[in-house]
Amino acid sequence: MYYHIEFDIAAVFVTLFIMYYVIFKKGLRRHANRVFLILLLLHFVAEISDILASASSNDPYLTTRLIQNISNYTYLFSQNVLAFVFVVYLFYLLGYEKTRKFAFWLICIPIGAELVLLFSNPLHHGIFYYDETGKYLHGDLFFILYVFAIAYMVFAVYLSIFHSKALTRGKSTALLFFIFISFAPMIIQMILPEYLLTLFFETLGLMGILFTIENKDDIINPTTGILNRFALENALEDAMRSKGQTLISIKIPNLNYYNKMIGFENMNDILGRISDYLEKEFHSHSCYDCGRGHFAVLCDNISEEEIDRLQKKIFYRFEKAWGKGKFSLAFPVQFGVIHLPEDVKTMENLLMIIDASFDGKDSSVMDVSKMIMDYERRVLIERLIDKALKNQSFQVYYQPIWNFHTGKVQSAEALCRLIDDEYGFISPEEFIPVAEQNGTVLEIGKFVFEEVCRFYQEARLKELGISYVEVNLSVIQCMSRNLKETFDGILKKYSLDSGCINLEITESATVDNQKVLLNTIETLSNSGFTFSLDDYGTGYSNIAYMYDMPFTIIKIDKSILWKALHPEEGEGQRNAVIYLENTVRMLKDMNYSILVEGVETLEQKLLLEKLECDFLQGYYFSKPIQKQVFADYLKVVNA
């Protein structure tokens, strides 16, 4: 029989290309990746030896018997070991090499037996022999090699299908494709034995693995040329399933700010230097650039002393500037150590730690357990918000607002309450920011607005002396479309007009989203709503922003009152009193009505009355109370 070696030759070139790609392009430095390289090498050896063996079989005078023998043994060795290594590769992909050691040793048994059988062939000639003309022929025991190869492949199919949870769908498809494409030509070769298709098809299968599982283009960060967050995520999946790995997180703060300051190009140059530095310091471990100035290093079996040494070294290095000339900058750095998998329970927690931004001004060590605790609390709050929205169990409490001029309760602030059956009272200071971040504040805001309107109408609050109710408006609501339509719709439903609602907007909102906010306020104001500026004086006091906005009431934050006159501190600080007095005077001169919140004591009330503040709100008068209690309270105080 004359063997056609053209397919084998083509396969050699394709294999060389794959090997080039794996070796010279920066790859996934995972163990699985190294096993893939072994797979490629074995495949390459099989190709060369198959070409030599087939050529010498075509023409027995072409090579010596020794070369023919070597190529046959090498071919059979590499092809059979390949099936075994493929299963090992799967073990590494699934992360079983450390967790399922027994199974790992078990799969070594068949290949051990095969190799004994193969290399004892000169004694029994059961695998192959040559006839008188020097022609290569299979012996009686050759089928055993087939049986073992098929057994390995069946096991590989089983792992790729039934253990594919640890693999993405693309990965397990690529593996099945490899198995199928390696076996299909065997059938063709039974019919057309002279066409050596097996290795060519196997090469196509390896190519499939290269472009899916081992593809590097989507795992490299183009800025720094090191592995990216996606690659880290893949490696972490392995690390979470095994033991003894440590993730070191290294973050610089506020990348956007620095990008603006010195330009993207210069900042990218600095990031490149940082990543080079980290690669040098952590030379035997994999470094990742997760973007936004977040780097990570995945270390296999690193000692605490070594981590300590590296931490000191990195802090020391970051005290000095990066980059060159006028574009050199020194940053604070955050260094975090996460032992895997002990320190984190879930992959979600781990990714949160990697992604959480570092806002510090000084270099510091990450408090991993606190981050996890905060995150879990946040997740819990999100769950409780969803539950409360679903069960309509949010409540609205009312805190009376006293009119200094009339001596009556003229309005009230509506304050949202989340009281969970299991977790009790959750402060709005805690759940409102969470709701703002995940958008549920829109629903909460709508609920509160409707609840207030219903109560206003049902309890006939107007007749009880309440001119309007103050409703807190979140920035997120201000940025949402159709806010006016939503509010108008609700007012109509309860036959109310917008004059019965005064919307409170916090001072911080006016600084961050001025333009959008202004648009919303104007639209709502044209609809007849009035506005209060909440928390005035909490650090964002830029009076210029207020000019453009139609606020009627300014609510001076309780912290300003408390600084001036706190029950525990008695007399208060002279400067704080001066600040309060002048703030009130200035705002009055600007024709704003003044509301001071947080009035807890008689002294505070007297001081504010002396300053002729228009409205007072605080525990001295009443805490926020349930709606029915509030209605009853009004009947007494406003009688």
Binding site for ligand C2E (CB under 6 A): 399, 415-416, 427-429, 432, 445, 448, 472, 474, 504, 506, 534-535, 558, 597-600, 617-619, 624
Instruction: Select from Mg ion, ligand C2E, none the partner in contact with residue 95, using the beta carbon and a kind-dependent cut-off of 5 to 8 Å.
Output: none
Which of residues 43 and 555 has its CB atom nearest to ligand C2E in the complex?
555
Type of residue numbered 472: N
Compute the least distance from the CB of residue 517 to ligand C2E, in Å: 14
Widest distance between CA atoms in the chain: 124
Residue with tokens 């927690």: 349
- List interacting residues with Mg ion (CB under 5 A): 472, 504, 534-535
Q: How far apart are the first and last CA of the chain?
A: 114
Give Cα separations from 628 to 38, 233, 391, 634, 635 (angstroms).
77, 53, 21, 10, 11
How far lies 194's CA from each of 11, 135, 198, 200, in Å? 16, 14, 11, 14
Question: And the tokens for 89?
Answer: 């590769």
Q: Which residues touch 214 (CB under 8 Å, ≥6 apart)?
A: 22, 27, 28, 33, 36
Backbone angles phi, psi at 495, to 5 degrees: 50, 45
Cβ of residue 457: shortest distance to ligand C2E, in angstroms?
19
Residues in the chain, total:
639
Which partner from the list Mg ion, ligand C2E, none does 421 bind, CB cut-off 5 to 8 Å by kind? none
How near is the Cβ of 620 to ligand C2E at its closest, in Å? 7
Taking the complex as a whole, the smallest distance from the CB of residue 568 to ligand C2E amounts, in Å, to: 12
User: Following CA atoms 193, 180, 126, 71 in sequence, which dihedral angle do they give, to the nearest 10 degrees?
Assistant: 70
Considering the complex, what minimum distance in angstroms separates the CB of residue 398 from Mg ion?
A: 12
Encoding tokens for residue 114?
Answer: 């095969």
Q: Which of 384, 410, 382, 381 is closest to 398 using CA atoms? A: 410
Nearer to Mg ion, 47 or 504 (CB): 504
Q: Give the containing element (helix H, strand E) for 246.
A: strand 245-251
CB 36 within 8 A of CB 22: yes
125 Rama sector, left if φ>0, alpha if ψ -120 to 50, beta otherwise: left
Closest CB to ligand C2E among residues 443, 600: 600
CB of residue 279 to ligand C2E, shortest distance in Å: 47
Please say which residue, 202 or 535, places its beta carbon nearer to Mg ion. 535
What is the closest distance, in whole angstroms, from the C-beta atom of residue 272 to ligand C2E in the complex? 44
Token pair, residue 509, equals 């909102």
Strand partners, 296: 249, 288
- Angle 344-349-351 (CA atoms, 0-180°, nearest 5)? 115
Comparison of 71 and 472: residue with beta carbon closer to ligand C2E: 472
- CB of 548 vs Mg ion, minimal distance in Å: 21
Given a contact cutoff of 8 angstroms between Cβ atoms, the answer to whether 266 and 324 are in contact is no
Residue 158 binds which of ligand C2E, Mg ion, none (CB < 5-8 A, kind-dependent): none
337 binding partner (options Mg ion, ligand C2E, none; Cβ < 5 to 8 Å by kind): none
Partner from Mg ion, ligand C2E, none contacting 429, C-beta within 5 to 8 A by type:
ligand C2E
Minimum distance of Mg ion from residue 279's CB (angstroms): 50
234 contact choice in Mg ion, ligand C2E, none (CB below 5 to 8 Å, kind-dependent): none
Which does residue 474 touch among ligand C2E, Mg ion, none (CB within 5 to 8 A, set by kind)? ligand C2E
Out of Mg ion, ligand C2E, none, what residue 214 binds, judged by CB under 5 to 8 A for its kind, is: none
Among Mg ion, ligand C2E, none, residue 233 binds (CB under 5-8 Å by kind): none
With respect to ligand C2E, which residue has the nearer C-beta, 234 or 399?
Answer: 399
In the complex with ligand C2E, the residue whose CB is nearer, 293 or 624, is 624
Min separation Cβ 624 and ligand C2E, Å: 5
Measured from the CB atom, is 274 or 385 closer to ligand C2E? 385
Question: What secondary structure letter does DSSP report for 618?
Answer: S
- Residue 618: name its binding partner from ligand C2E, Mg ion, none (Cβ under 5 to 8 Å by kind): ligand C2E
3-state secondary structure 462-525: CCCCCCEEEEEECHHHHHCCCHHHHHHHHHHHCCCCHHHEEEEEEHHHHHHCHHHHHHHHHHHH
Q: Give the nearer residue to ligand C2E in terms of CB position, either 47 or 534.
A: 534
User: Which C-beta is closer to Mg ion: that of 214 or that of 534?
Assistant: 534
